[in-house]
Amino acid sequence: MKPYIIILIFAFFIISCDDDNVVVSTTNNNNNNNNNQNNDTDISYEWLIPVEEVFDGGPGKDGIPALTNPMLLKATDADYLDNSDLILGIVSGSEIVAYPHKILDWHEIINSSVGVHHISVTYCPLTGTGIGWNRNINGMITTFGVSGLLYNSNLIPYDRSTDSYWSQIRSDCVYGELAGNTVENIKLIETTWETWKTMYPSTLVVGDNIRYNREYDIYPYGNYNVVEWLLFPVNPLDNRLHLKERVHGIIINNKAKAYKFSSFINQNVLITDNFEGSELLIVGNSTKNFIISFFNDNSLVFEAVQDQLPIVLSDNEGNKWDVWGVALEGPRTGEQLTNTNSFMGYWFSWGAFFPDLEIYE
């Protein structure tokens, strides 16, 4: 294994990637030239976000290489993964796929097709946000790449059909031909590899036999995911929680509410909450490492179910519902609860994009 020494003292580190190696360099966070003007963008378009807050992350466009239809392994063959490793998972019909953080930390975007979905799994290591995007944009199937730019420390992908730039957390196009368009989010569940395998033993998972020479056993950002500092400025900076605390955020009417793991224990716990006039069901388990949420559209009375994953809920009619909100047993078998627009992320990213958001206590 190649030795890597990452030194971070009052500076930013930038990871520059090519097909064969990784170079770690530093740049001062007060360098005002480190914004989008160094990235090749068409000046005939205007940004829909403050251009002075768009920073060039360093590697350049496609310097961090997105993946398209990478090799998939059976769960039993994925020996490079530890049970505690985080993954983003999707189920579509009979197809079940896991996308490990270990791969996404180095590639940030995986374009693939699962069941009926043409999906881009977008993951920003700097904000800890993993969001599935529908690659069908205005009737055209596209793929997304890594632009190398950041807004509020968050990934800005670009679509390869029109070369338009998109904000990951906002899920909209902020620059280019498609500016003002939104992208449809596809539900993903973030949890540990162990929990995912328990729920779906037949799952496939992205393998580490990729043509890019990366050390997937090494987290490329040092201790960034646990420390109380950031690599790039965010505005505003919300210090109510530890900056890197992982929370589940729910977005309704362009407002957000955050749910912490500390609200859950080492068994499935159901929280019923009201936000923006909607009754919400939030299910979490701190040990199994997941938080998911749904709208209670049917005014049913729910309770948490233990030790039957992927089933997590039952109701007063005798139905049992899984982590996707699908009724697997009971009179409503086949029906589905409405998923919220939600995902996991570091606290600071929620505070930056949704100032003064509520925290469930």
The per-residue pLDDT for range 17-53, each reduced to its tens digit, is 333 333 223 233 333 334 544 555 666 789 999 999 9
What is the longest distance spanned by two Cα atoms in the chain? 61
The per-residue pLDDT for range 134-163, each reduced to its tens digit, is 999 999 999 999 999 999 999 999 999 999
First to last CA, the chain: 45
- pLDDT surpassing 60 at residue 186: yes
3-state SS class at 152: coil
Give the pLDDT of residue 351: 97
The span from the CA of 134 to the CA of 146, in Å, is 16
Last residue within a domain, chosen from 206, 235, 267: 206
Give the position of tokens 């940004």. Answer: 47
Query: Mean of the pLDDT values across residues 59-68?
Result: 96
- pLDDT surpassing 90 at residue 299: no
The verdict on pTM exceeding 0.75 is: yes
- Domain region containing 331: 246-359
Does residue 337 lie in a domain region?
yes
The per-residue pLDDT for range 224-274, each reduced to its tens digit, is 999 999 999 999 999 999 999 999 999 999 999 999 999 999 999 999 999
Last residue within a domain, chosen from 182, 206, 230: 206
Does residue 218 lie in a domain region?
no
The span from the CA of 64 to the CA of 17, in Å, is 6
Query: Mean of the pLDDT values across residues 279-303?
Result: 96
Q: Does residue 250 share a domain with residue 201?
A: no
Q: What are the CA-CA distances from residue 167 to residues 62, 121, 271, 328, 336 (Å)? A: 16, 14, 30, 36, 29
Percentage, residues of the chain above pLDDT 70:
88
Q: Does residue 253 share a domain with residue 198?
A: no
Does residue 228 lie in a domain region?
no
> Which of the two residues, 315 and 8, has the higher pLDDT score?
315
Q: Does residue 127 share a domain with residue 50?
A: yes
Q: Does residue 253 share a domain with residue 202?
A: no
Give the pLDDT of residue 15: 36
Handedness of CA 18, 23, 29, 32 (dihedral sign): negative
Query: Mean of the pLDDT values across residues 324-338?
Result: 98
- pLDDT surpassing 70 at residue 193: yes
Residue 221: name the closest of 106, 108, 302 by CA. Answer: 106
* DSSP one-letter string for 169-238: TTTEEEESTTTT-B--EE--EEEEHHHHHHH-TT-EEE-S--SS---TTS-TTTTTTTSS--SS--SS--
Does residue 222 lie in a domain region?
no
On whether the CB atoms of residues 195 and 202 are closer than 8 A, the answer is no
Query: Mean of the pLDDT values across residues 116-125?
Result: 97
Q: What are the CA-CA distances from residue 27 to residues 36, 38, 57, 180, 200 (Å)? A: 15, 14, 10, 32, 43
Q: How many domains does the chain have?
A: 2
Q: Does residue 306 share a domain with residue 180?
A: no
> Which of the two residues, 295 and 298, has the higher pLDDT score?
295
- pLDDT surpassing 50 at residue 312: yes
